[in-house]
């Protein structure tokens, strides 16, 4: 086993895959945390799927699909962000429409493009085993941008996530902060697309924060723990897919899904154990545990 791991590490593609997994997990840990506490999983899904329109556009006009995906997901992120902020009702409907139309546009544009389209599926389902070194540098740069933006705007992002009305009344430019957030989501989506594909971006963005939320006391810790959990999932999934010869993106997501199920089971078991063994004065804390289940994500 150890030998075959070392053997695998001889390959450039495997080393790049591992590095890509780490870089993507860090971005997803930080941005996914903000997505989960702001409850904007749906808009993130919209951004991810609309990005396929950018891939189609790039194929049609013959430029780098990553560039296409970045431009298109930035545009769709800003569009959906503005819709979310300006129309109070039915913004989810409009996001749903953009989600589907972006994707359809991509498919039609690719239909219209002549020639052989070999790596098309890789944008949908990920291709972590074929990440070139140049992409790693791009991922590193995007990670640094995300880290810098979140650090600089942290107190505003935290306040906006926790209590938007109060933050507005404090004269914080909440709309600007929100648009920065959706732009950061767009950048993360494009990065993650290389690893697990557009269709499964949401899982890597939301599952690690959903697990870590219950383990930490501060949002910063949630970001760090989510990143670590993400690294564990991508590494486990990558090795499993390597040894079992399975699609790596889907294997990573299934590992993450199993991790989530495991964390739910452990939390449930802990709670029922506590309710039998905890003295009366801890009832307040117990209350908080029971209501943990109520928010619908």
Partner 1 sequence: MSMQSVPEVLSIQHVWAGYDHETILEDITLSVYEHDFIGLIGPNGGGKTTLVKVILGLLRPQRGEVRILGQRARIGRRFIGYVPQLAEFDRAFPISVWEVACMGRLVRRGLFRRYTAADNAIVEMALRRVAMLEYRHRPIGTLSTGQRQRVYIARALATEPTLLLLDEPTASVDPEMRTSIYELLQMLNQQITIMLISHDVGAIATYVKTVGCLNRRLYYHHERQITSEMLEAVYRCPIDLIAHGVPHRVVAPHPQQKGEQ
List of residues contacting partner 1 (CB under 8 A)? 37, 152-153, 155-156, 158-159, 161-163, 165-173, 213-214, 216-219, 221-222, 284-285, 288, 291-292, 294-295
Q: How far is the CB of 135 from partner 1 (least distance, A)?
A: 31
Locus of tokens 């870590």? 212
* CB nearer partner 1, residue 135 or residue 213: 213
Q: How far is the CB of 186 from partner 1 (least distance, A)?
A: 21
* CB nearer partner 1, residue 134 or residue 171: 171
Q: How far is the CB of 263 from partner 1 (least distance, A)?
A: 13
Structure tokens at 132: 């070139």
Burial class (CB in 10 A: 0-12, 13-18, 19+), 258: middle
Q: How far is the CB of 205 from partner 1 (least distance, A)?
A: 17
User: Measured between alpha carbons, how far apart are the two ends of the chain, in Å?
Assistant: 40
Q: How far is the CB of 166 from partner 1 (least distance, A)?
A: 6
* CB nearer partner 1, residue 245 or residue 288: 288
Locus of tokens 């999934």? 237
Q: How many residues does the chain have?
A: 297
* CB nearer partner 1, residue 37 or residue 235: 37
* CB nearer partner 1, residue 4 or residue 272: 272
Q: How far is the CB of 289 from partner 1 (least distance, A)?
A: 8
Rounded to the nearest angstrom, the gap between the alpha carbon of residue 264 and the centroid of all alpha carbons in its chain is 20
Q: How far is the CB of 223 from partner 1 (least distance, A)?
A: 10
* CB nearer partner 1, residue 141 or residue 169: 169
Q: How far is the CB of 168 from partner 1 (least distance, A)?
A: 7
* CB nearer partner 1, residue 262 or residue 292: 292
3-state secondary structure the chain: CHHHHHHHHCCHHHHHHHHHHHHHHHHHHHHHHHHHHHCCHHHHHHHHHHHHHHHHHHHHHCCCHHHHHHHHHHHHHHHHHHHHHHCCCCHHHHHHHHHHHHHHHHHHHHHHCCCCCCCHHHHHHCCHHHCCHHHHHHHHHHHHHHHHHHHHCHHHHHHHHHCHHHHHHCCCCHHHHHHHHHHHHHHHHHHHHHHHCHHHHHHHHHHHHHHHCCCCCCHHHHHHHHHHHHHHHHHHHHHHHHHHCCCHHHHHHHHHHHHHHHHHHHHHHHHHHHHHHCCHHHHHHHHHHHHHHCCCC
* CB nearer partner 1, residue 50 or residue 219: 219
């Amino acid at each position: 086993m150890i030998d075959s791991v070392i053997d695998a590490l001889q390959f450039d593609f495997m080393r790049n895959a591992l590095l890509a997994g780490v870089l993507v997990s860090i971005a997803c840990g930080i941005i996914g945390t903000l997505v989960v506490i702001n409850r904007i999983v749906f808009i993130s899904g919209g951004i991810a799927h609309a990005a396929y329109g950018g891939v189609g556009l790039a194929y049609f006009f013959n430029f780098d699909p990553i560039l296409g995906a970045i431009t298109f997901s930035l545009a769709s992120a800003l569009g959906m962000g503005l819709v979310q902020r300006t129309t109070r009702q039915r913004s989810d409907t409009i996001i749903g429409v953009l989600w589907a139309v972006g994707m359809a546009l991509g498919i039609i544009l690719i239909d219209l493009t002549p020639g052989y389209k070999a790596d098309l599926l890789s944008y949908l389902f990920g291709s972590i085993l074929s990440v070139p070194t140049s992409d790693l540098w791009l991922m590193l740069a995007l990670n640094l941008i995300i880290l810098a933006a979140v650090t600089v705007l942290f107190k505003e992002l935290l306040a906006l996530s926790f209590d938007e009305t109060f933050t507005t009344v404090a004269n914080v430019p909440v709309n600007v902060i929100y648009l920065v957030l959706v732009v950061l989501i767009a950048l993360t989506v494009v990065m993650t697309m290389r690893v697990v594909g557009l269709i499964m971006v949401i899982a890597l963005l939301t599952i690690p924060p959903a697990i870590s939320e219950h383990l930490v006391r501060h949002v910063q810790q949630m970001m760090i723990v989510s990143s670590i959990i993400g690294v564990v999932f991508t590494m486990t999934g990558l090795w499993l897919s390597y040894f079992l010869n399975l699609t790596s993106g889907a294997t990573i997501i299934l590992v993450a899904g199993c991790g989530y199920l495991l964390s739910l089971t452990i939390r449930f078991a802990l709670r029922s154990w506590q309710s039998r063994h905890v003295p009366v004065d801890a009832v307040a804390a117990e209350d908080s545990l029971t209501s943990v289940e109520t928010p619908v994500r």
